[in-house]
C-alpha cells in the first residue's frame, strides 16, 4: 500500500548509493506517488542524477522489508528484542571478555549512526572490534593518505576535475560507478576538447569512451607504472624543486626505490614502450593534472603502496593543493567518508584520531566520560570474520551490510555465521543472505525514512532527510544502538534526535584540535551548537569548517600537510606481484566490480524493474579467443572455479577484455540468483597495511557448465 506522507512538500535529501553524494528532491503526490529529481542547488550534481538515483522511488516499497523485531524468527516487541540483545551480549562479555564481541557496520549508515556505534564499542565495551564494509572499498586510500599527508584527507574536489588539463582515471570505471562525476567530466571535455583524458585499466570499460589514451596494463602492476612515472619526472627535469624542498620529505628514498626504465615498465605492465612514453611525457609537461583512483587501485594486496605511488608523482611535481590538480580518491559508498570521520575503521578513533596514540585515546575517553577506551586497534574485516569462524568472536552485530555476499571467500563467512553463537542483524530487509542467519533481527529505517548526515568523496557533508514514515516498527540505527547501550547500563546514550549526535561529533572534532599545535584537517567545530532547526536546514558544506559561519574548505594540502613537521612524505614503494598467481590449473585472472544499474547486493536496486532492464542476470565477460580455447559459448552457462569456491554464470563475449582475464559483477546473491555470489570465488588475500582484500586478482578456471 502507498505510505502516508511524513513531510509535506518537497524534501531535499541525498542519494544513498555512491560516493558522489548527489542532492535529491523528493516529494509524494496526493495519490501516494513518489517523485524524485536531482537537486539543482546541490554542488555535487547541480541537478543531475544517474539511472540508479532516478529510480529511487521504485526502491521504497515494503517488499522484503523487515517490519518488526524478531528473535529466532518470532516477532517480538522492541522492548523484548532490545533487552534480549543487551542481555545476550552481556552474557558473552561476562563469560569470554569484550574481545569476544564484534560489530561489522557499513558505509550505508549515516554519520550519526556510525558515531554512536563507535562510541559504544570503543568507549564503553572497550574493544576496537568494530570494522566496516568500507574496509573493502577505500581503506587503502586511507592508509595512503595517512602515510603521505599525516592524516586521512582528500586534497581535491569535483571542480578540480573540470579545471584540469589532464585527467588520469586509474582503477576506476567512473562512467558506471560514479556516473554524475563522469557526466561532469564529459561536459567539461566537450567545452574544452583539449583536456586530455587517460584511462588506466586492464579492461576496456565505458569510461574509455572519453579517453584520449587507454593503458590496458597487466592487473596489479600499477606501482610499476607510477614508479616509472616518478623516475621519468625526475629524469626529464619535471621536479618542482622548491615545493619538494619546502613541503616534502623522503623524495630521495622514494626515487631510489622507484628506479625503473621505461623499457622495464613496459615489460612489467604488458604495455608498449611508445604508449608508456606518451603518458609520461604528457604528465610531465602538463601542470594541471588530477589523478582519480578508486577500487581498481585500492582493492589489492599492494593497495596502500599503489596509492602512495600515485601521490608520490603529485608531490614530486608539486601538483597538489591548487585548482585543477592533485590525487583524488573516489569513495565507493554514500558515507564512506563520514565513517572515517567517526573512526569507523577498527584502527581509527573518532575525529580522525588514532587508536595507537595514548594521548588521542585519553582525549576521546575524557570527552566521552567513558569508563574505558579500546587500547589497541581491532580486527579488520577479513580477520574479524576469520575470528568468528575460529570461535574467538562469539557474538557479532552486523548493521546495514551483507557480508555473506560481499566479503571474499564468502562460503567461509557463511560458515562462520552459521557456527557463531550470537548473530544480530540490523537491516531494512529480512531476506538478505546474511539476515537469514541472524538469531536476532532488528528492523532499521530505510533511506526515505532516515534523518542525518553523509559525507561524499570531496569531503562535503550533506543532510539526508526522511520524507516517508518509518516502515512497520523500523527505527533509526542510532536509536537501536543507543537503546542497547542504555540496557547495558551505560550513560551517554540518551539521544533523542540525530541533531544531538551531530553536535557531539562536531564538538569532539573541535576538542581533538585543541590538544597540540598541529591543526588536523578534520574539524567541524564551526558546525557545533546548531539548533534543531539549523541542523535541519544545514546546507552542503565541505570540511574543515573551523569557525561558525565559515563556508567550508574547497581544497586541502594548500600550504602545509599534517605530519609533525608539516611536510608531506614521499613513501618509498616497490612493485610486488599480486599474492596469488595464475597457473596451469587456474590460468585466468578474475576481476570483479560493479555494473551501471545495480548497487551492492541489490537489496534496493533489485526492487526497481527498470534497473534490471540494463543487465538482468549474473554474467562473466571473457575475450572471444579465450572462450574458444575453453570451449565456452556465448549465452551459455559456464562454471568459474578458484581454490576458494565456484560460481555458475552466463557467458558474454567481450573484445574489451584483455586475454587471460575475466570479469564478474559483485551484485548477485543467493537471494537474487541461484547463489551466484562471486565472493565465494574471490581469494582472501589482503593488503598488509590497509587490510583491503584483493578483489581484482583471483586465479580461476572457466569451463562449460553441465549438471553433474
Nearer to ligand SF4, 52 or 560 (CB): 52
Closest CB 136 distance from ligand SF4, rounded Å: 18
Closest CB 536 distance from ligand SF4, rounded Å: 21
* All cell numbers assigned to 531: 539548533
Residues near 198 by Cβ (< 8 Å), separated by ≥ 6? 166, 167, 168, 169, 211, 212, 213, 214, 215, 279, 282
Closest CB 177 distance from ligand SF4, rounded Å: 8
Helix, strand or coil for residue 285? helix
Which letter does DSSP use for residue 570 in this model? P
Nearer to ligand SF4, 290 or 506 (CB): 290
CB-neighbour burial class of residue 48 (10 A; exposed 0-12, middle 13-18, buried 19+) = buried
Closest CB 303 distance from ligand SF4, rounded Å: 22
Query: H/E/C letters for each residue in 168-203?
Result: EEECCCHHHHCHHHHHHHHHHHHHCCCCEEEEECCC
Tell whether residue 52 is a contact of ligand SF4 (CB under 6 A). Answer: yes
Size of the site for ligand SF4 (CB under 6 A): 14
Tell whether residue 461 is a contact of ligand SF4 (CB under 6 A). Answer: no
Nearer to ligand SF4, 567 or 594 (CB): 594
Helix, strand or coil for residue 42? coil
How many Å apart are CA 471 and CA 461, to the nearest integer?
26
Tell whether residue 22 is a contact of ligand SF4 (CB under 6 A). Answer: yes
The window from 19-27, 241-249, 435-443, 569-577 that contacts ligand SF4 (CB under 6 A) reads 19-27
Closest CB 24 distance from ligand SF4, rounded Å: 7
Nearer to ligand SF4, 20 or 100 (CB): 20
Nearer to ligand SF4, 231 or 462 (CB): 462
Nearer to ligand SF4, 38 or 321 (CB): 38
Query: Considering Cα of 442, then 446, then 451, then 454, what sign does the dihedral take?
Result: positive
The window from 14-22, 212-220, 473-481, 552-560 that contacts ligand SF4 (CB under 6 A) reads 14-22
Tell whether residue 230 is a contact of ligand SF4 (CB under 6 A). Answer: no
Closest CB 207 distance from ligand SF4, rounded Å: 14
The window from 13-21, 105-113, 209-217, 515-523 that contacts ligand SF4 (CB under 6 A) reads 13-21
Residues near 385 by Cβ (< 8 Å), separated by ≥ 6? 104, 403, 407, 412, 413, 416
Helix (H) or strand (E) holding 661: strand 661-665
Closest CB 339 distance from ligand SF4, rounded Å: 16
From 12, 21, 166, 324, residue interacting with ligand SF4 (rule: CB under 6 A):
21
- Name the closest residue to ligand SF4 (Cβ): 53
Helix, strand or coil for residue 495? coil
- CB burial string 274-306: b at 16+ within 10 A, e below: ebbeebbebbbebebbbbbbbbbbbbbbbbbbb
How open is the CA angle 273-274-279, to the nearest 5 degrees?
Answer: 100
Tell whether residue 49 is a contact of ligand SF4 (CB under 6 A). Answer: yes
CB atoms within 10 A of CB 613: 10
Nearer to ligand SF4, 49 or 200 (CB): 49
Tell whether residue 23 is a contact of ligand SF4 (CB under 6 A). Answer: no
Find out whether 18 and 295 touch, Cβ atoms under 8 Å.
no
Nearer to ligand SF4, 15 or 474 (CB): 15
Tell whether residue 18 is a contact of ligand SF4 (CB under 6 A). Answer: yes
Q: Fill in the per-residue mask, 169 to 208: x = in contact with ligand SF4 (CB under 6 A), - = not in contact.
A: ---------xxx----------------------------
How many Å apart are CA 436 and CA 445, to the nearest integer?
18
Tell whether residue 250 is a contact of ligand SF4 (CB under 6 A). Answer: no
Helix, strand or coil for residue 47? coil
Find out whether 213 and 199 touch, Cβ atoms under 8 Å.
yes
Binding site for ligand SF4 (CB under 6 A): 15, 17-18, 20-22, 45, 49-50, 52-53, 178-180
Amino acid at each position: 500500500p502507498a505510505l502516508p506522507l511524513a513531510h509535506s512538500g518537497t524534501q531535499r535529501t541525498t542519494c544513498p548509493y555512491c560516493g558522489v553524494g548527489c542532492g535529491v528532491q523528493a516529494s509524494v503526490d496526493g495519490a501516494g506517488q513518489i517523485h524524485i529529481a536531482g537537486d539543482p542547488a546541490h554542488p555535487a550534481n547541480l541537478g543531475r542524477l544517474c539511472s540508479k538515483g532516478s529510480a529511487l522511488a521504485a526502491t521504497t516499497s515494503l517488499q522484503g522489508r523487515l517490519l518488526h523485531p524478531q528473535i529466532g524468527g518470532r516477532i517480538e516487541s522492541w522492548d523484548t528484542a532490545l533487552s534480549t540483545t543487551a542481555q545476550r551480549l552481556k552474557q558473552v562479555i561476562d563469560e569470554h571478555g569484550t574481545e569476544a564481541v564484534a560489530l561489522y557496520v557499513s558505509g550505508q549508515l549515516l554519520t550519526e549512526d556510525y558515531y554512536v556505534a563507535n562510541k559504544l564499542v570503543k568507549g564503553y565495551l572497550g574493544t576496537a572490534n568494530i570494522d566496516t564494509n568500507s574496509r573493502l572499498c577505500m581503506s587503502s586510500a586511507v592508509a595512503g593518505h595517512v602515510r603521505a599527508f599525516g592524516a586521512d584527507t582528500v586534497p581535491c574536489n569535483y571542480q578540480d576535475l573540470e579545471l584540469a588539463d589532464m585527467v588520469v582515471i586509474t582503477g576506476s570505471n567512473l562512467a558506471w560507478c560514479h556516473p554524475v562525476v563522469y557526466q561532469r567530466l564529459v561536459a567539461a571535455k566537450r567545452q574544452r576538447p583539449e583536456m586530455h583524458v587517460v584511462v588506466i585499466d586492464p579492461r576496456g570499460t565505458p569510461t574509455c569512451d572519453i579517453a584520449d589514451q587507454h593503458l590496458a596494463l597487466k592487473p596489479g602492476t600499477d606501482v610499476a607504472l607510477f614508479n616509472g612515472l616518478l623516475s621519468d619526472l625526475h629524469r626529464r627535469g619535471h621536479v618542482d624543486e622548491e615545493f619538494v624542498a619546502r613541503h616534502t620529505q623522503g623524495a630521495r628514498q622514494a626515487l631510489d626505490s622507484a628506479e625503473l626504465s621505461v623499457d622495464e615498465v613496459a615489460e612489467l605492465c604488458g604495455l608498449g614502450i611508445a604508449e608508456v612514453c606518451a603518458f609520461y611525457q604528457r604528465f610531465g609537461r602538463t601542470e594541471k593534472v588530477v589523478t582519480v583512483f578508486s577500487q581498481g587501485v585500492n582493492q589489492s594486496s599492494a593497495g596502500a603502496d599503489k596509492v602512495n605511488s600515485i601521490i608520490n608523482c603529485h608531490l614530486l611535481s608539486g601538483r597538489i593543493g591548487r585548482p585543477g590538480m592533485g590525487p583524488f580518491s573516489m569513495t565507493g559508498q554514500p558515507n564512506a567518508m563520514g565513517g572515517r570521520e567517526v573512526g569507523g575503521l577498527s584502527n581509527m578513533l573518532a575525529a580522525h584520531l588514532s587508536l595507537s596514540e595514548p594521548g588521542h585515546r585519553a582525549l576521546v575517553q575524557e570527552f566521552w566520560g567513558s569508563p574505558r577506551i579500546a587500547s589497541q586497534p581491532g580486527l579488520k574485516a577479513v580477520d574479524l570474520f576469520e575470528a568468528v569462524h575460529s570461535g574467538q568472536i562469539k557474538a557479532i552485530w552486523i548493521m546495514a551490510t551483507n557480508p555473506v555476499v560481499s566479503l571474499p571467500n564468502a562460503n567461509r563467512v557463511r560458515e562462520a555465521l552459521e557456527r557463531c553463537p550470537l548473530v544480530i542483524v540490523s537491516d531494512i530487509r529480512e531476506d538478505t543472505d546474511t539476515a537469514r542467519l541472524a538469531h536476532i533481527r532488528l528492523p532499521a529505517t530505510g533511506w526515505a525514512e532516515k534523518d542525518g548526515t553523509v559525507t561524499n568523496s570531496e569531503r562535503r557533508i550533506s543532510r539526508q532527510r526522511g520524507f516517508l514514515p518509518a516502515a512497520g516498527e523500523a527505527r533509526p540505527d542510532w536509536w537501536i544502538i543507543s537503546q542497547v547501550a542504555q540496557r547495558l547500563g551505560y550513560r551517554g546514550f540518551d539521544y533523542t534526535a540525530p541533531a544531538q549526535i551531530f553536535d557531539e561529533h562536531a564538538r569532539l572534532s573541535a576538542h581533538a584540535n585543541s590538544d597540540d599545535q598541529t591543526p588536523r584537517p578534520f574539524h567541524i567545530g564551526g558546525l557545533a551548537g546548531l539548533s534543531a532547526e539549523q541542523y535541519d536546514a544545514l546546507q552542503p558544506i565541505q570540511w574543515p569548517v573551523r569557525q561558525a559561519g565559515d563556508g567550508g574548505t574547497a581544497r586541502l594540502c594548500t600550504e602545509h600537510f599534517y605530519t609533525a613537521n608539516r611536510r608531506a612524505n614521499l613513501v618509498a614503494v616497490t612493485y610486488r606481484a599480486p599474492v596469488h598467481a595464475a597457473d596451469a590449473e587456474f590460468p585466468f585472472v578474475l576481476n570483479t566490480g560493479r555494473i551501471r544499474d545495480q548497487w551492492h547486493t541489490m537489496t534496493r536496486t533489485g526492487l526497481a524493474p527498470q534497473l534490471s532492464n540494463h543487465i538482468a542476470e549474473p554474467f562473466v565477460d571473457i575475450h572471444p579467443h579465450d572462450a574458444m580455447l575453453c570451449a565456452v559459448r556465448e549465452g551459455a552457462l559456464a562454471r568459474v572455479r578458484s581454490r576458494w569456491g565456484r560460481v555458475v554464470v552466463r557467458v558474454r563475449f567481450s573484445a574489451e577484455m584483455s586475454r587471460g582475464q575475466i570479469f564478474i559483477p559483485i551484485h548477485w546473491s543467493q537471494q537474487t540468483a541461484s547463489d551466484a555470489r562471486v565472493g565465494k570465488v574471490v581469494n582472501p588475500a589482503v593488503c598488509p597495511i590497509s587490510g583491503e582484500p584483493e578483489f581484482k586478482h583471483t586465479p580461476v578456471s572457466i569451463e562449460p557448465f553441465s549438471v553433474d
